[in-house]
C-alpha cells in the first residue's frame, strides 16, 4: 500500500496513522494511490461533469495552485474556466486576471456570463513583478479566483506561491507553456490543455491527488456570441454549450492596474 503526502503540509510532520483503516482516517494531505485524494479545502464545480468526476472533491480545489499547461495561448483557456468564473462573479466575488498575454475581449466575457463589475485586469511585464503581484494577491485572500500567466516561473517561485495560496480560500489558476510539464512543480493539480477540433479542448490531468489519469477528456467549450461570426467564417461548427443561456451585457472591465 502506497500513501502520498505534500511536504508543505504540516500534517505530514505528525505521526501517520495505520493505512489499514478507511481513507477518512488519514491526514488531509495523505491518500492511497488507488483512490482519489480527499481534502477539507472547498472545491468549486468546473461546469463540466466529466471533468469534475476526475478532480479530487469533485471540482477545482481552493487554496492551492492549479497549473494549466497550454499547447499555445488562446486555445480557449478562458472559455474553459468561464462556467466557474461566471458563478463567482455573479455571486459578487472578484476575479483577477494577472498579466494575460493579450487583453481579454470584454464583450466575449460578458457573453459567457461573467459580471464584469467584478473582473480586474492587472498588467505587468517583468517576470519578478508578476511573481510579487501574484504572491501579494494570494496573501490578501480577497478574491474568488486569480488567473495568472507565468511562462517563466521557476520551481522555487511556484513553491512560494503554493505556500501563499494556502492562506486564503480562493482559486488560483497558473497558466504555463506545455513544455513546463517536464519540470517539477509543487502544484497538486496539473492539467495539460490542447486545442481540439470544432472549438473543443482536450484536457489531460498529469498530476492530481489520486490514481494516474487515463485518457484525455475532450470538453465542449462555449463560444460567446461575439465570436460566432469568426467561427462561421472559418467553417467551424459551434460546439454544444455547457453554459446556461445568458443575456449579453457589453460593459468595460472594471479597472486596469499597471504595475
For the chain, give every domain's residue range.
1-35, 42-258
Cell numbers found for residue 130: 508578476
CATH of domain 42-258: 3.40.50.300
d(CA 107, CA 253) in angstroms, rounded, equals 9
Give whole-number Cα distances, 208 to 18, 68, 143, 173, 230, in Å. Answer: 23, 12, 24, 14, 36
Q: Which residues of the chain fall short of a pLDDT of 50?
A: 1-20, 23, 31, 34-35, 238-252, 254-259
pTM, full prediction: 0.77
Q: How far apart are CA 69 and CA 237, in angstroms?
A: 26
pLDDT tens per residue, range 70-88? 999 999 999 999 999 999 9
What pLDDT does 78 receive? 97
d(CA 197, CA 164): 37
CA distance 49 to 71: 23
* Per-residue cell: 252: 468595460
Amino acid at each position: 500500500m502506497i500513501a502520498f503526502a505534500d511536504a508543505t503540509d504540516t500534517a505530514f510532520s505528525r505521526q501517520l496513522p495505520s493505512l489499514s483503516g478507511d481513507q477518512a482516517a488519514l491526514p488531509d494531505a495523505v491518500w492511497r494511490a488507488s483512490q482519489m485524494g480527499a481534502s477539507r479545502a472547498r472545491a468549486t464545480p468546473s461546469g463540466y461533469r466529466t471533468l469534475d468526476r476526475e478532480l479530487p472533491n469533485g471540482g477545482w480545489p481552493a487554496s492551492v495552485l492549479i497549473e494549466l499547461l497550454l499547447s499555445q495561448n488562446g486555445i480557449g483557456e478562458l472559455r474553459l474556466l468561464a462556467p466557474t468564473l461566471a458563478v463567482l462573479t455573479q455571486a459578487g466575488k472578484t476575479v483577477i486576471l494577472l498579466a494575460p498575454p493579450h487583453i481579454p475581449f470584454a464583450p466575449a466575457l460578458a457573453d459567457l456570463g461573467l459580471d464584469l463589475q467584478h473582473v480586474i485586469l492587472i498588467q505587468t511585464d517583468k517576470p519578478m513583478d508578476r511573481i510579487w503581484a501574484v504572491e501579494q494577491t494570494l496573501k490578501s485572500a480577497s478574491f474568488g479566483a486569480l488567473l495568472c500567466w507565468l511562462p517563466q516561473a521557476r520551481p522555487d517561485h511556484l513553491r512560494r506561491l503554493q505556500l501563499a495560496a494556502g492562506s486564503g480560500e480562493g482559486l488560483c489558476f497558473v497558466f504555463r507553456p506545455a513544455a513546463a510539464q517536464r519540470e517539477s512543480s509543487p502544484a497538486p493539480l496539473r492539467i495539460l490543455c490542447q486545442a481540439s477540433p470544432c472549438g473543443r479542448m482536450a484536457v489531460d490531468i498529469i498530476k492530481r491527488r489520486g490514481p494516474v489519469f487515463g485518457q484525455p477528456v475532450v470538453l465542449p467549450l462555449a463560444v460567446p456570441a461575439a465570436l460566432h461570426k469568426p467561427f462561421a467564417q472559418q467553417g467551424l461548427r459551434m460546439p454544444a454549450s455547457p453554459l446556461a443561456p445568458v443575456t449579453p451585457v457589453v460593459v468595460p472591465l472594471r479597472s486596469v492596474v499597471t504595475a
